[in-house]
Amino acid sequence: MAGSWLIDDGLDRERMLDMDRRIAPVRRRTFAVLAVALLACGPWLGWWTIAPLLGAGVLFAAADRVTKRMRRPELGLFAAWAGAEAIVAISVALSGGPEVATLSWLAIPVVTLASRFSIRGIVAGVTIALALLGAVAFGGDAAAVLDEPPLVVAPAALIVSVAMLSTALMRSDLEFRSRSVIDPLTGMLNRSALAARVGELSQQSAISGHPVSLVLADVDEFKALNDSHGHSTGDAVLRDLAYRLRKRMRAFDLAYRIGGEEFLLVLPGSEPAEAVAFADQLCAAIAAEEFGGIRVTLSCGVAASAPGSTFQYEEVFAAADTALYEAKRSGRNCVCAAPVLVGAAIGP
């Protein structure tokens, strides 16, 4: 799926959702630290300042549920981020405006921008933070700010500096991690990234009981294509094919290149019939298109974990691999599904 103004492409969306899952527990602990600080300062600042912070926690909890169903979850996450920043601003305003130390708290949410959004999202977030800073400062006590500009200049510099440093650190980390989990030819995730994700999928299925479907796709007669057109043409076909595969997937589906011309598509929450229908549509779409003037076809094997069971990757993958072999034997350019659902029932 294509990106948006907040992220560049589907791969960035996958990274954003993964990072948000990692940030969530830290975010809750951060809100707890701020809540304790406000409670400790209650005799001086007032006890009501804790209410907006609790509202921010509720906002993020609601966003976590809603974004999972959104076609472009980055929009929901950014809206939740902006809402939380506004709530922090309200807490600061209630605690005393520009003359209290809590004004610098507006820099805290800025730390998370670079871990999820593109440079456009970072700029938009910093702009929102600075606008809220100005609103709190001048709305609370404009005369004090005009008499003592450092009251605003210092926290504004902190917000911008935090954004710059976190962006540089995140870009460095992404470059390092990309070397180990991104296939350099197609830009897709590789086996290393898959290994890290499998455990999370198993845990999620154990909690939700929802099935996880695998579609194992292989380019038909790819060796012959390489022999007749050259490896550079074969590489170009794989790059274009990977791009078109990602465009046809939902925001929370996962795509991996696990072999030379073999791709694994992971469809969390998809029933077997849905996965087969998706694979059928995918094969038909690829067969109808040209890749640099060359037509290629896919063979697909589909397998799924049983609803109400824990996702066992090795077993489901083995079933999908067997189904793929059957698709090859059946003449290629087709989809075969494993005859049984795989998985042991979740215990009480």
Specify whether the backbone of 269 is left (phi greater than 0), alpha (psi in -120 to 50) or beta: left
Helix H segments across 182-294?
191-208, 222-229, 231-247, 272-288
Spatial separation of the C-alpha atoms in residues 306 and 304, rounded to whole Å:
6
Question: Cα 48 to chain center, whole Å?
Answer: 35
Q: Residues 305, 205: contact at Cβ < 8 Å? A: yes
The active-site residue, picked from 74, 175, 261, 289, is 261
**Is-catalytic flag, 289?**
no
Q: Residues 162, 226: contact at Cβ < 8 Å? A: no
The length of the chain, given as a count of residues:
348
CB neighbours of residue 69 within 10 Å: 10
The pair of structure tokens assigned to 1 is 């799926």
- Give the angle subtended at the CA of 193 by the CAs of 187 and 195, to the nearest 5°: 150
Q: Which positions ≥6 away from 344 have C-beta within 8 Å?
A: 309, 310, 312
Element (H, E) at 302: strand 298-304
Positions marked active-site: 261
